[in-house]
Amino acid sequence: MGGVINVLARYARETNSKPFISEMSIPTFKLIGMYIGQSVFTFFYIFMLSNLGEKVAYHMKADLFKSVLQQDIAFFDAQRTGEIINRLTSDVQDFKSSFKQTISGGLRAITQIVGCSVSLVMISPNMTLVTLLCIPSVIGIGTLFGSLLRVISRKAQAQVEKTTAVADEAVSNIRTVRSFAMEEQEAALYIKEAEEAMVLNEALGFGIGLFQAGTNLFINGTVLMTLYLGGYMLSTNRLSAGDVMSFLMAAQTIQRSLAQISLLFGGVIKGLAAGARVFEYINMKPSMSLTGGKIIPDNLLKGDIEFKNVTFAYPTRRRQVILKNFNLSIPSGKTIAIVGSSGNGKSTIVALLERFYDVNGGSICIDGHDIKTLDPTWLRQNILGLISQEPILFGTTILENIRYGRPEATDEEVKYAAQQANAHEFISNFPKGYQTLVGERGATLSGGQKQRVAIARALLKNPRILLLDEATSALDGESEKIVQSALDEARKGRTVIVIAHRLSTVRNADIILVLNHGKIVEMGSHEQLLKLKGYYWALTYQQHQQPDAA
């Protein structure tokens, strides 16, 4: 801008303030046009590049998030949340920055190198050959060095991911951290991981610095060589002084462009490693797709469940077989309770029915159809209603949380589901009623209230099969009674699987089965099982000894 003002001031002085416009020559108009043109082009160039970068990042984020949500549950068993979030945030950001830098800086530098190389060849092909000899070597060494640095960069980014995961866990579990007074230890753990990330990033910086220094050495050597050769050709009259000057100018531009490319190198390395990590998840194919398969027509749907010779081990622990040749038949409309000591595979049965995992052997059928042949989305959205011990709510209003069960439900349907879940009354007592915000994971509601919202959410989809996995075990006696009566109401007309530790909550079940090491060891009604004086009787006896648990 200062330059423009100076030129205009000088022009005004030189023209002695004569009538300005009429005196302006055509070259002056061209000059002004170029100034304005340059600004306009700069604007478009920055705007378009920024737009392109944002679009690339947006598509990457969208594809990555969609792909993550479609992964098997086993993927989430193995991965920490913080690590996944890191790929969505830092890695996409690193890729975007590097992409923009590479396009803006790289394009300019390459154009300059190509343009100036053409000038060099035109001035002196021999000298050009010597001058540009360094380029293939720089590219060769750069490629070698680059692959080495990419490995370090990948390690550094994985370490940053680990650091984020530690922070994420500590912050999202802050109540547990506080109640165990573990702030210092958590901070120390974070600092240790962050330090490792710092060391790896420092090593990366060292490598990039080394590469740039080496490149500069090469490039500067080339300039010296050009000077020497130029002087020699001038003295032997093979080139004119003007040609030597032009050659030097062009060679210097190439040198600056190469230096610019070597500066970009570090960013490109980081961007490539980040991009590889993002695409690793985008290209990951889940073993079970979310959609596709049969849908049982409403009029044929009954809700019979059958486990036939099911064998299963969790993908993350292949050697621990949880169910082996497991058989179970539940007629539609019946309530079956599964009891047994902890770790026996009760929740696994529910997880398999939800198709969170596929069985390794045998099959699970609903109304005679293997669930592997049914559309998983239809199955989860319409047939199964799962209520688990720890109801997880989203940080939005009660209305939206219940509507999560069926997004197209009307406000009236939401209210009706809340009434069925014994939740309408407490919701109506909140000053904002159904519009009350529940806080992150429902933190501002009591355990019993959260559970009733979760029940309403499950009932809203009017599922044919209800899965109650310790649905009342986290509640105190009073809340349990209210929730239990809501569940008793919800059971009507549905096939229900109840998993419970407190045997008092399963007495009314049509069939109770006792699971031991993944095998059914007893089966019958409450009275029948008590008479057997076996496992069930022993469990009941144990609970009578612990009045709290009964």
Instruction: Give the nearer residue to ligand ATP in terms of CB position, either 72 or 91.
Output: 72
HEC-encoded secondary structure of 123-143: HCHHHHHHHCCHHHHHHHHHH
Instruction: Give the nearer residue to ligand ATP in terms of CB position, either 128 or 348.
Output: 348
Residue 550 C-beta: closest distance to ligand ATP, Å: 16
For residue 308, list its beta bridge partners: 363
Q: What is the dihedral of CA 396, 397, 399, 401, to 10 degrees?
A: 30
Instruction: Give the nearer residue to ligand ATP in terms of CB position, either 40 or 549.
Output: 549
Residue 160 C-beta: closest distance to ligand ATP, Å: 26
For residue 519, list its beta bridge partners: 516
Cα–Cα distance between 1 and 113 in angstroms, integer? 28
Residue 505 C-beta: closest distance to ligand ATP, Å: 13
Instruction: Give the nearer residue to ligand ATP in terms of CB position, either 204 or 498.
Output: 498
Instruction: Give the nearer residue to ligand ATP in terms of CB position, either 127 or 513.
Output: 513
User: Nearest to residue 502, comparing CAs of 539, 549, 469?
Assistant: 549
DSSP-assigned states of every residue in 197-230 = HHHHHHHHHHHHHHHHHHHHHHHHHHHHHHHHHH
- What does the binding site for ligand ATP look like in residue numbers (CB under 6 A)? 77, 314, 316-317, 322, 342-348
Helix axes 241-282, 107-123, angle to 10 degrees: 150
Instruction: Read off φ and ψ for residue 370, nearest 5 degrees.
Output: -60, 130
Residue 509 C-beta: closest distance to ligand ATP, Å: 16
DSSP state of 468: E
User: Nearest to residue 423, comparing CAs of 444, 395, 451, 397?
Assistant: 451
Instruction: Give the nearer residue to ligand ATP in terms of CB position, either 384 or 438.
Output: 384
Instruction: Give the nearer residue to ligand ATP in terms of CB position, either 338 or 487.
Output: 338
Instruction: Read off φ and ψ for residue 133, nearest 5 degrees.
Output: -60, -30
Residue 494 C-beta: closest distance to ligand ATP, Å: 21
- Residue 66 in 3-state DSSP? helix
